[in-house]
Amino acid sequence: MASSSIPNENIIWSKVSGEVEFVGGNNMGRNVVVKGNSTGAFKLEVDVGGVLNPKPYIKGMVLEKKMVDVHVYIVRKDDGTSPATTETAFSTLLSEANNFYAQVAIEFRQVGGVTYIDKTDWLDVETTADNWAEYKQLQSSHDGTGGLEIYCIDDLIGANGANYSPGTTEAGLTIDDDANSRTLAHELGHACGLADIYLSKDGTSLPDDLVKETWLPDDWSGGSATGYYSPDLKQKDLVQRLIMYGVGNSTKADFALGKVHGVDRNGAATLIKVGLSDMNRQPQH
């Protein structure tokens, strides 16, 4: 049966658990809206014209919105000219990154104006040296702001963004002129305690297999085989959709609800912290 042939009135949603309700009491159709009455987990299931058995379900969280302060530093040449970016461009980037973070009810809010750092040597910063000395010097320049520190430079050689959050003066986040909102969102994800996920690292590769429940336990929606995900969806395709995917692309956009199976930065195939359940939603550098 083609899914388009099922009329909206035969698609019925119901609450399994949690403090949520259907807006206007409307629980029928392809699109329904629920609102939370108090924070916590919820689970909904849907009867799709009696066709799917068991019924698909979706899990979610009602969250209190968190505002996270960010302090912005833009590097310029020694003489105060040639800023790595403009205040307007950064503001746009942050706003776009916040669109991704709406999924986890976080808004990053720039505090005060931009602070300029006039140091030509820091326009281009190396990551290829083993000790990342120059990078650490840059990020040590401001500390203890009570929020996150974001440094904008012209060229971070070997990456277009990096975050360092060991709770020292060197903690901070740097992006370069090539960073887009997905880069910024990825690095902010590290600041929130999330980890990189890869398809392949240090000789370990994800098998070319379809998604399965044990590989995304908190984000499963029921059913057998690939469940109610697309029947041809492979784990490696899904991983590339995650904000915490460790390779730059122009499509990553999602936070999972929980851990997802992939290859970690040490080359181990395991469940990785890429989702809401492992996030610190009020991070500080």
Partner 1 sequence: MNNYASIFTIITTLCIFPECANAQPTEQRVRDILLTSREVGGASFVKEIHSLQQQDNISDETMRGILNGIIMDALNKKEDPLLRELTGNAIRVVSNYGNESVRDLLGAVIERKNGTLRRRAVESYMRVTNHAVAGVVTNILTDTSKYDDLDRRVVYEELINSYQITNKKDKTTVISVLDNAVDRDIDKSNFVLLDRFLKKAKNGYADSPQRTCLLRKHTTHSIGSVTEIDKYVSSELSILLKKTPAN
Question: How near is the Cβ of 59 to partner 1 at its closest, in Å?
Answer: 11
CB atoms within 10 A of CB 51: 13
For residue 156, the minimal CB distance to partner 1 (Å) is 9
Residue type, 108: F
Cis peptide, bond prior to residue 207, ω within 30 of zero: no
Write down the least CB distance from residue 56 to partner 1, Å.
Answer: 8
How many Å separate Cα 187 from the centre of its chain?
9
Shortest gap between Cβ of 73 and partner 1 (angstroms)? 15
Q: How many CB atoms lie within 10 A of CB 175?
A: 26
Which CB sits closer to partner 1, 15 or 278? Answer: 15
Nearest to partner 1 of 101, 259 (CB atom): 101
Residue 164 token pair: 């360092």
Are 134 and 166 in contact, with CB atoms under 8 Å apart? Answer: no
The nearer residue to partner 1, 88 or 128, going by C-beta atoms, is: 128
> Least distance to partner 1 from the beta carbon of 181, Å?
10
Cβ closest to partner 1, residue 72 vs residue 197: 197
Residue 1 CA to its chain's centroid (Å): 36
**Residue 229 to residue 176: CA distance in whole angstroms:** 36
> Which distant-in-sequence residues (6+ apart) come within 8 Å of 237 by Cβ?
none
Cβ proximity to partner 1: between 88 and 131 the closer is: 131
Nearer to partner 1 by Cβ, of 147 and 198: the residue is 198
**Distance of closest approach, residue 65 Cβ to partner 1, in angstroms:** 5
Q: How far is the CB of 34 from partner 1 (least distance, A)?
A: 5
SS3 129: coil
Strand 155-157 vs strand 124-126: parallel, antiparallel, or unpaired?
parallel
Nearest to 97 by CA among 9, 161, 35: 161
What six digits make up the tokens of 152? 């904008």
Nearer to partner 1, 111 or 267 (CB): 267
Between 148 and 238, whose beta carbon lies closer to partner 1? 238
Half-sphere exposure of 268 (CA within 13 A, CB side): 5
What residues contact residue 135 under an 8 Å CB cut-off, 6+ apart?
125, 126, 127, 156, 162, 164, 174
CB of 185 to partner 1, least distance (A): 12
